[in-house]
Every structure is written in structure tokens, then in C-alpha cells.
Amino acid sequence: MSGKCEVWAQLFLSESSKQRIHNFFISEFKIDRRYLVKSLHVTVYHALEEIPNLSSVDLACHHTLSPEQTRFMVLAPGGENSRPDLIPSDNRVGVRIQKNTDFRTVIDSYRSRILEHEDHFVLGTRAPSTLSRNAFGARHFQPHLTLLHPGSGIMNDLKIIGQAFRESVGLLVFDRYIIEQKFNKR
């Protein structure tokens, strides 16, 4: 394949859940609106090649995620753990979805249906993706929800933010699932 196409499968957060998250950051941590991610979603799958037998979809769905099943992290290599050289406000910040949760099972179900379509034409010399590993991009698949852009000014102690988040935002609802193949215009 020529690398002129990208495949994305994503679960999108409902508008009401998005507004609760945005209001949380604005009211509790005085984050400027321009640093809030607008299109809140979890990427279920991403590939850098066209997958010929995979159909595009745009489906209504209803899946819930308890904030108790999330942990804040800096979205950079090694960002799961606090490090003095990794400043949250200089990077994207989000929440990762913990393993062994109901929502992770939902993600794995969607992901496994796509993995069936990876073949040697798509993969080339790459090892196939699994539920925990990606053939493309970051090696380890770690589902997450990106919440803040770099420059947000968020405090360094993400544990404090995470605790307030879990106490404040309520049940998160995902109401749309899409698979799309985006062809680059070269």
C-alpha cells in the first residue's frame, strides 16, 4: 500500500458529558476554553493504510464509563507516572481507561472486529495488532480520552485533578461510533 489513507475507529463522548468535563476544567481549575479539546473521543483503532474490506460506519450507540475507571496522565511516552521532567501544562493531558473494566471490554469488542481485517497487504512487514498492541503508531494500545491541549496551565499534581474529576463529572456517556478511511490528497 502507498500510505495515502488512514483508518480511524473512534467512540465519541456525548455532548452533555463533554460539557460537564469542560465546565469542570473551567470552574474548578480556571482553564481557558481554548485549551479544552473539542472533539472528545477514544480511539479504538488507527492504521496508516487502507483496509479494503472494512466498511465505514457512523452508528448511534450507548456506552457508559464511570470516572472511577479512569486515571489522569500526561499524554507523552511514560506519562502514566509522575516525573519531574514531564510537565503536564506543557503537554496534552487526558485520562486513560483502566484495564479490566466494563468500558475496556466494549473497546476490545469494537477493536477485535477491525483486527480481523488486518492482512499482509495492510501490514506489510509489521506484526499484526492485538487487543493490547498496535501495528501502527504507539506500540502499546492504551485507550484514553485527550482532554487538554499543551499550554493549558494545569497544575502538576494530576492526582488532585483526578480525584476532583472522579467526584464531579458523573457518568460519561459515549453515543456515537465511527469507522472512517481518510484518503490523503497528495
pLDDT at 139: 85
Instruction: Tell me what pLDDT residue 70 has.
Output: 97
pLDDT for the residue 83: 81
Range of the domain at 80: 5-183
Q: Which DSSP symbol is given to 133?
A: B
Report residue 185's pLDDT band, with 50, 70 and 90 as the boundaries. Answer: low
Residue 186: predicted pLDDT: 54
Residue 42's DSSP bridge partners are: 11, 145
CB atoms within 10 A of CB 123: 16
Q: Give 4's pLDDT tier (boundaries 50, 70, 90).
A: confident
Which tens digits make up the pLDDT trace of 100-118? 999 999 999 999 999 999 9
H/E element, 160: helix 158-168
pLDDT value at position 10? 98
pLDDT tens-digit map of 47-67: 888 898 899 999 999 999 999
What CA–CA distance (Å, rounded) separates 130 from 149? Answer: 29
Mean pLDDT across 60-75:
97
pLDDT at 1: 42
Q: Cell triple for residue 50? A: 487502507
Q: Kindly report the average pLDDT of the chain as a whole number.
A: 93
Helix (H, G, I), strand (E, B) or coil at 175: strand
CB neighbour class for 148 (10 Å; exposed up to 12, middle 13-18, buried from 19): buried
Would you state the pLDDT for residue 78?
A: 78
What local confidence, expressed as pLDDT, does residue 77 receive? 82
The CATH number given to whatever domain includes residue 11 is: 3.90.1140
Helix (H, G, I), strand (E, B) or coil at 9: strand
Asked whether the CA dihedral 130, 61, 50, 136 is positive or negative, the reply is negative
- Give φ, ψ of 96 to 5 degrees: -95, 150
How much is the pTM? 0.92
Using the predicted structure, report yes or no on whether residue 2 has a pLDDT greater than 70. Answer: no
pLDDT at 129 over 60: yes
Indicate the number of domains in the chain: 1
Check residue 127 and give its pLDDT. Answer: 93
Please spell the DSSP secondary structure of 46-102, one letter per residue.
Answer: EESS--TTPPPEEEEEEEEE-GGGEEEEESSTTTTS--TT--GGGS-EEEEEPSSSH
